[in-house]
Amino acid sequence: MKRLIILVGLLLLTPGFLYGAIDPASNPGDTLLASFAAASAHWRSVIVPAAMTVFGLLITADLVLEFGKIAMSGKVDFSDFIPPLIQKTLMIGFFLMLFQHGDWLGTIPDSFAQLGDTASGQSVDPDNIIANALKIVLSLMKGLSALHLIDSITLFFSALVILIAFGLMAAHLIMAYVKSYVMLALAPLVFSLAGLTHTRQIAFNPIMANIKVGAEILLLKLFLGLSITMMHDFAANVDNDNGSIFVMIIMSIVMASVVHMASGIVEALFSGTVAQTSTAGLGTAAAVAGGMAAGAMGATKGAAGFGAAVKAASNFAKEQRAGGDSSASTFKNLKSALANDVKRSMAGENHGGSMGGRMAFKNSSDSIGTAQEKFRKGQNDIAKAQTAVDATRNEEDAQQAAYHNKG
């Protein structure tokens, strides 16, 4: 009973714990992203000078190779120098611009993010996601009541699942932003490869990578905005529609899986093929399905255990009734075993096994105890009968002795 009271108290105090543990006004998500942005800027300031040195050395080597080849051809004409010189000058100017104004690359994911907010009709950022998740969870927690314990437990665990799902979705958005910050910091190292003709194509990869990250942020904001809107609609109907809470659980898991597929979808869009990662979110659903299957197996085991409990109770009843009508005794034995199991569970004395298995063991033990008691009683009856036989025999012997003495 003490554990039950503690559980009810925790359920009723959970909203307060949530407000105390997570304060949306403190903007933890923005603070984390600002830390990564500042670190990215510092890393870039250190990397750019080294990258420009490599860029200059590669350009020098490339110019020597290019114009040396022209000079060694034996047919030197000024017009042969002009086209490659103009081409290399434009290339050098373009990448020097990226070295000096690397923040221009940051406008690519920022533009996609702004487009995502506009399309979703709300500001979708990590703090806003957590704040909306807390609003949804706290609206569910209003239904907690000590008078409806089962419903309260269902609401509590449902709210926990939804909060975890939204936390995972917010983490995906944070990781996308962090990915863009890291790319901005390391991009100059790849840009330096533009100094050599043979590696120049690699130098354009960070630009495409930034576009992909921006598209990923756009998709995440669209998915998350839709999730927030749907969850608020379902939460508003919880009081009027008991099925809404289960729909919310399913939808939160499904949307977490969809959000997990965002990077794969972007990769499929740019490559023209459906990459394996574009369906990676199904792994989340598969994990949930696996959990449901495990739950079903557990339920099957529980049902099997309960069947064993009924059989043991019936056998015990037959022992008690000695072959007569044992239906009432079977129910009585089940009731007694259930009460004993609940009592031991509350006392913390049950360690493993299903309730049905423990009830079957209890009835089997009682049946064995009854059989042993009957055996001992039988032995006592036999001993008494033997004593009576011995007494009768002694009496007969005494009578015969008396008869011989008279003769």
Predicted confidence at residue 339, as pLDDT, reads 62
Higher-pLDDT residue of 105 and 26 is: 105
Average pLDDT over every residue of 78-105: 83
Total domains present in the chain:
2
Supply 407's token pair: 């003769």
Check pLDDT > 50 for residue 7. Answer: no
For 83, residues 6+ apart whose C-beta sits below 8 A from its C-beta are none
Q: How far apart are CA 378 and CA 384, in angstroms?
A: 10
Based on the fold, state whether residues 117 and 261 are members of the same structural domain.
yes
In a domain, 132, yes or no: yes
Supply 102's token pair: 């690397």
Based on the fold, state whether residues 315 and 347 are members of the same structural domain.
yes
Q: Are 88 and 194 in contact (CB under 8 A)?
A: no
Average pLDDT over every residue of 268-278: 69
Average pLDDT over every residue of 43-71: 88
With b for 16 or more beta-carbon neighbours within 10 A and e for fewer, the 250-270 pattern comes to ebbbbbbbbbbbbbbbbbbee
Supply 374's token pair: 């009957």
Average pLDDT over every residue of 357-367: 65
Q: How far apart are CA 249 and CA 157, in angstroms?
A: 10
Based on the fold, state whether residues 336 and 247 are members of the same structural domain.
no
The share of the chain scoring above pLDDT 90, in percent, equals 15
Predicted confidence at residue 329, as pLDDT, reads 58
- pLDDT tens digits for 106-163? 889 999 999 999 998 888 888 888 888 888 777 776 766 555 566 667 677 777 888 8
In a domain, 290, yes or no: no
Predicted confidence at residue 344, as pLDDT, reads 66
Rounded mean pLDDT of the chain?
A: 74
Dihedral sign (CA 330, 332, 337, 342): positive
From 224, 253, 280, the end of a domain falls on: 280
Range of the domain at 322: 295-377
Task: Please give the single-letter amino acid code of residue 176.
Answer: A
Based on the fold, state whether residues 218 and 335 are members of the same structural domain.
no
Q: How far apart are CA 197 and CA 21, in angstroms?
A: 56
From 246, 280, 314, the end of a domain falls on: 280
Predicted confidence at residue 249, as pLDDT, reads 78
Q: How far apart are CA 91 and CA 355, in angstroms?
A: 75
- pLDDT tens digits for 283-333? 554 454 444 444 434 433 444 454 555 555 556 556 555 544 455 555 566
Predicted confidence at residue 291, as pLDDT, reads 46
Q: At what angle do helices 355-406 and 327-346 cross, to 10 degrees?
A: 120
Based on the fold, state whether residues 236 and 315 are members of the same structural domain.
no
Closest CA to 121 of 222, 215, 227, 217: 222
Based on the fold, state whether residues 166 and 44 are members of the same structural domain.
yes
Closest CA to 363 of 323, 318, 298: 318
Task: Please give the single-letter amino acid code of residue 211.
Answer: I
Based on the fold, state whether residues 271 and 348 are members of the same structural domain.
no
Among 68-72, 83-87, 196-200, 337-341, where is mean pLDDT lowest?
Answer: 337-341
In a domain, 38, yes or no: yes
Q: How far apart are CA 127 and CA 26, in angstroms?
A: 9
Cβ atoms within 10 Å, residue 126: 23
* C-alpha distances out from residue 400 to 386, 388, 396, 404, Å: 21, 18, 6, 6
Higher-pLDDT residue of 96 and 376 is: 96
In a domain, 395, yes or no: no
Q: How far apart are CA 212 and CA 229, in angstroms?
A: 26
Based on the fold, state whether residues 215 and 364 are members of the same structural domain.
no
Q: With residue 157 as reference, give the H or E element that holds it.
A: helix 149-191
In a domain, 391, yes or no: no
Average pLDDT over every residue of 157-181: 87
Based on the fold, state whether residues 99 and 46 are members of the same structural domain.
yes
In a domain, 51, yes or no: yes
In a domain, 288, yes or no: no
Based on the fold, state whether residues 74 and 209 are members of the same structural domain.
yes
Predicted confidence at residue 26, as pLDDT, reads 58
Predicted confidence at residue 100, as pLDDT, reads 84
Predicted confidence at residue 213, as pLDDT, reads 92
In a domain, 386, yes or no: no
pTM of the model: 0.60
- pLDDT tens digits for 8-54? 444 444 444 444 444 555 566 778 888 888 998 899 999 999 999 99
Based on the fold, state whether residues 139 and 44 are members of the same structural domain.
yes
Based on the fold, state whether residues 12 and 84 are members of the same structural domain.
yes
Average pLDDT over every residue of 217-234: 86
Q: Are 99 and 191 in contact (CB under 8 A)?
A: yes
Q: How far apart are CA 364 and CA 369, in angstroms?
A: 8
Degrees to nearest 5, angle at CA 277 with 272 and 278: 55
